[in-house]
């Protein structure tokens, strides 16, 4: 073997769907003596760059759009049987490392580990040394500001003669409320839905707490129950004379157990979805933690990079890293905004500040420095909307398009009678037909989705649209992909 061959730096391909993380890994690997010859943003593209460059080392993310790392790994292994493949992921090592190694990986390192730790681990794997997966050593700065408690939304109060509704079997009875707090205000934060129906054939909704409104979907005070939950209305009518009726029923928010109680003038319905809510909560915590971990890993890596000697990083690279911090911070802000909005929806404390808004201004703010999107405006009218909520809706749809769709992306503003329609278009594979009915439900994610997500984005968009007297819909593209449309009243 020649001297040139022994000193040639090992050639690396990085396959990860986060450009900011690829930038960090490239800097760290170059600093460590490796040569990064190519990058890719998904598994399918990764296979092509590996085929073209035949690298010595491959860093491969697991959760990516188009084709994930586990799916791409066997093909990459066949293309480069002697290359060292190190899997990168935000998932727990015990959960995913065995699966990755079984599919052909040589090692596993978690995102969020210090760059020096990742570099040492990759160096050992590349040199043929056996090593356990690197530990995650993320440092998350603690907030110095306490979270302020939110006030309950104003709700219609019951008559002073009314008593606090009796709790369903097995539930803890509420504490007696103060004189100036109505029974319904006291029950607002109950972990189960409570509806009071007028004892009449239409079963009009007299009162409903936040959980009940979330479960019923499009319900509002004064609406006949059959207009929002036809099956529930039929079963209430059938059991209305029973003293202790209990049954399961499907509503907009999923399957619940309904329990009936009668007062002298109304029917109380308790909707308990506790078992499903616990499952949803567990899945939501897991997916949200994964969503948050990615931006935190990038920000922590940049903080580590800023401690390097000035000779190791030039001004242009430093500027790019600062741009990465801003982008990842916006991602974190978007995630926390959706979590807060979902909590406000459930508790009935959602606030909307309606103003006259120019859609073009909102669109420009949503795509600036974040998305490469073609924008066409046919309808130049303003709309009545909350500008912050409008931008949150649009950002969620753009994020959804980039996670689950494919380029090119576009926004089309058009007129539909008294409505201004904002179409967000992608050219991916589209929404699976079997998933369309659950598309806008809380925590809903397609079973075969390879991209990450909290499952809250579209649910938040739907609820915010309704709160602004608008709506949101989905349709397939003319040729492929998806079209999500926000419709708001024109001024």
CA distances from 76 to 54, 61, 71, 359 (A): 10, 13, 10, 45
| Phi-psi map region of 222: left, alpha, beta (phi>0 left; psi -120 to 50 alpha) | left
Instruction: Quote the CA–CA distance of 267 and 195 in Å, as a whole number.
Output: 8
Q: What is the pLDDT of residues 47-74, one digit of tens each?
A: 999 999 999 999 998 878 778 888 899 9
Q: How many domains does the chain have?
A: 3
Q: What is the pLDDT of residues 7-55, one digit of tens each?
A: 789 999 999 988 888 988 999 999 899 999 999 998 999 999 999 999 9
If asked whether residues 128 and 228 sit together in one domain, one would say: no
Domain extent at residue 374: 351-489
Q: What is the pLDDT of residues 161-205, one digit of tens each?
A: 334 444 444 444 444 433 444 566 667 666 678 899 998 888 999
If asked whether residues 118 and 190 sit together in one domain, one would say: no
If asked whether residues 222 and 114 sit together in one domain, one would say: no
- Find the CATH number of the domain harbouring 265: 3.30.450.20
If asked whether residues 129 and 195 sit together in one domain, one would say: no
Q: What is the pLDDT of residue 484?
A: 94
Q: Among 210, 237, 272, identify where a domain stops.
A: 272
If asked whether residues 30 and 108 sit together in one domain, one would say: yes
If asked whether residues 44 and 123 sit together in one domain, one would say: yes
The answer to whether residue 216 sits within a structural domain is: yes
On the CB side of 107, how many CA atoms lie within 13 Å of its CA?
A: 26
User: How many other CB atoms are there within 10 angstroms of residue 184's CB atom?
Assistant: 22
The answer to whether residue 358 sits within a structural domain is: yes
Phi, psi of 229 (to 5 degrees): -150, 80
If asked whether residues 118 and 204 sit together in one domain, one would say: no
Among the ranges given (63-67, 81-85, 246-250, 462-466), the one the predictor scored with the smallest mean pLDDT: 63-67
Q: Nearest to residue 23, comparing CAs of 14, 11, 32?
A: 14
The answer to whether residue 431 sits within a structural domain is: yes
If asked whether residues 360 and 483 sit together in one domain, one would say: yes
Q: Among 272, 298, 324, identify where a domain stops.
A: 272
Q: What is the pTM of this model?
A: 0.51
Higher local confidence (pLDDT), 261 or 93: 261
If asked whether residues 253 and 364 sit together in one domain, one would say: no
Instruction: Quote the CA–CA distance of 109 and 133 in Å, as a whole number.
Output: 5
Q: Among 225, 245, 272, identify where a domain stops.
A: 272
- Find the CATH number of the domain harbouring 103: 3.40.50.2300
Is the preceding omega at residue 408 within 30 degrees of 0, hence cis? yes
Q: What is the pLDDT of residues 438-476, one digit of tens each?
A: 788 766 666 555 445 556 788 888 989 998 999 999 987
Name 257's bridge partners.
248, 272
The answer to whether residue 392 sits within a structural domain is: yes
The answer to whether residue 422 sits within a structural domain is: yes
The answer to whether residue 306 sits within a structural domain is: no
Q: What is the pLDDT of residues 286-314, one digit of tens each?
A: 666 767 777 888 888 888 888 787 667 78
Do β-strands 355-357 and 374-377 pair in parallel, antiparallel, or remain unpaired?
unpaired
Q: Nearest to residue 108, comparing CAs of 95, 116, 302?
A: 95
Between helix 457-467 and helix 387-404 the angle, nearest 10°, is: 150
The answer to whether residue 118 sits within a structural domain is: yes
If asked whether residues 114 and 234 sit together in one domain, one would say: no
If asked whether residues 133 and 193 sit together in one domain, one would say: no
If asked whether residues 10 and 97 sit together in one domain, one would say: yes
DSSP 172: P
- Find the CATH number of the domain harbouring 361: 3.30.565.10
Counts of helices then strands in the chain (DSSP H, E): 15, 17
Instruction: Quote the CA–CA distance of 435 and 414 in Å, as a whole number.
Output: 27
The answer to whether residue 165 sits within a structural domain is: no
Secondary structure in 3-state letters for 120-147:
HHHHHHHCCCCCCCECCCCCCCCCCCCC
């Amino acid at each position: 073997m020649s001297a040139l061959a022994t000193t040639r730096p090992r050639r690396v391909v990085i396959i990860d769907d986060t450009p900011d993380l690829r930038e960090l890994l490239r800097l760290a690997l170059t600093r460590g003596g490796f040569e990064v010859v190519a990058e890719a943003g998904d598994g399918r593209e990764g296979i092509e760059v590996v085929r073209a460059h035949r690298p010595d080392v491959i860093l491969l993310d697991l959760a990516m759009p188009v084709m994930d790392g586990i799916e791409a790994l066997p093909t990459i292994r066949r293309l480069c049987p002697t290359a060292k493949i190190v899997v990168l992921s935000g998932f727990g090592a015990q959960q995913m490392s065995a699966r990755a190694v079984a599919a052909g990986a040589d090692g596993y390192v978690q995102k969020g580990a210090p760059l020096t730790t990742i570099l040492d681990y990759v160096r050992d794997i590349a040199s043929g040394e056996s090593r356990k997966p690197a530990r995650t050593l993320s440092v998350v700065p603690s907030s110095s500001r306490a979270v302020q408690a939110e006030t309950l939304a104003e709700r219609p109060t019951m008559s002073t003669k009314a008593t606090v509704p009796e709790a369903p079997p097995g539930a803890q009875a509420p504490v007696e409320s103060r004189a100036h707090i109505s029974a319904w205000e006291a029950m607002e934060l109950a972990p189960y839905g409570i509806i009071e129906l007028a004892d009449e054939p239409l079963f009009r909704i007299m009162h409903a707490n936040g959980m009940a409104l979330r479960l019923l979907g499009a319900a509002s005070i004064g609406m006949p129950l059959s207009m929002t939950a036809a099956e529930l209305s039929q079963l209430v009518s059938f059991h209305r004379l029973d003293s202790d009726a209990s049954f399961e029923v499907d509503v907009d928010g999923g399957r619940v157990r309904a329990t009936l109680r009668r007062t002298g003038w109304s029917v109380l319905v308790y909707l308990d979805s506790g078992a499903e809510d616990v499952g949803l909560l567990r899945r939501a915590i897991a997916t949200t933690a994964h969503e948050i971990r990615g931006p935190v890993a990038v920000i922590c890596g940049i903080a580590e990079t800023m401690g390097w000697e000035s000779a190791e990083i030039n001004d242009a690279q430093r500027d790019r890293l600062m741009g990465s911090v801003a982008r990842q911070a916006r991602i974190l802000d978007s995630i926390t905004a959706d979590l807060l909005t979902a909590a406000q929806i459930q508790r009935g404390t959602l606030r909307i500040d309606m103003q006259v808004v120019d859609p073009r201004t909102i669109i420009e703010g949503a795509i600036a420095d974040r998305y490469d999107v073609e924008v066409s405006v046919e309808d130049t009218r303003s709309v009545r909307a909350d500008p912050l909520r409008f931008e949150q809706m649009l950002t969620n749809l753009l994020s959804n398009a980039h996670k689950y769709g494919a380029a090119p992306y576009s926004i089309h503003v058009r007129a539909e009678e008294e409505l201004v329609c904002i179409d967000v278009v992608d050219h991916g594979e589209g929404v699976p037909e079997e998933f369309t009915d659950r598309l806008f439900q809380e925590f809903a994610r397609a079973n075969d989705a390879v991209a990450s997500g909290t499952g809250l984005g579209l649910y938040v968009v739907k609820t915010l649209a309704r709160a602004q007297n608008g709506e949101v819909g989905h349709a397939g593209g003319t040729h492929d992909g998806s079209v999500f449309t926000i419709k708001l009243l024109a001024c």
